[in-house]
Amino acid sequence: MIYEFSGHQPLTPVDPEVTKRLQRLHELGLGEQPVPEFDEFARRIGEVTRAPYAMVNFIREDRQYFAGLHVADAPAGAGSTAQPGRVMSRDHGYCPHVVVRRKALVLDDVCDYPRFAGNPVVDEIGIRSYLGAPLIDRTGTALGTICVVDVEPRPWGRAGLETIKSLAADLVDQINSLQR
């Protein structure tokens, strides 16, 4: 686990619902392989928000799995040449915060927030802004998130927040229609 230097607090929140989430993901058959429909959904999110990276992310106890992933052409001004893959440690990124909080998270510039500026994705991938919303299914389980990130600060604003929440609701409807 990665810790904040001041006060030695974990940067990634404790997740009390991980067992319930893993059971539900197993029932739905999600979170272990790419899903072409989720890749398409991630592409749509990226286009709507004009963000270079977009993901449909399912959170496990120790890692995150991007069942939907869209990576646009290498963004100009990228602080790093690294690209996100399908799997990321739970200690990397901001989606685990969204799942535990069960609320959308808007970070126009992650460097404006000491708790988030020290996240490894800032240095490893060059992430500077984040916009994400939880995927809470009909059982009340927070399965994961949809999110977009950029290598430049972005004023997502209220419009960005409403957009990501609406898109998350659309994907939850799609997930709820799975007959599993």
User: Are the C-beta atoms of 69 and 86 separated by less than 8 Å?
Assistant: yes
- Asked if pLDDT for residue 11 goes beyond 90, the answer is no
Where are the domains positioned within the chain? 18-176
Q: What is the pLDDT of residues 52-69, one digit of tens each?
A: 999 999 999 999 999 999
**100-145 per-position pLDDT tens digit:** 999 999 999 999 988 888 887 887 888 999 999 999 999 999 999 9
CATH assignment, 18-176: 3.30.450.40
Q: What percent of the chain clears pLDDT 70, i.e. is strictly above it?
A: 87
Nearest to 126 by CA among 90, 91, 150, 92: 150
Q: DSSP labels for 66-102?
A: EEEEEE-SPPTT-S-S----SEEETTSSSHHHHHHHT
Containing 149, the helix (H) or strand (E) segment is strand 142-150
Share above pLDDT 90 across residues of the chain, in percent, rounded to a whole number: 69
Cβ atoms of residues 87 and 66 within 8 Å = yes
Q: Which of 163, 145, 164 is nearest to 31 (CA)?
A: 145
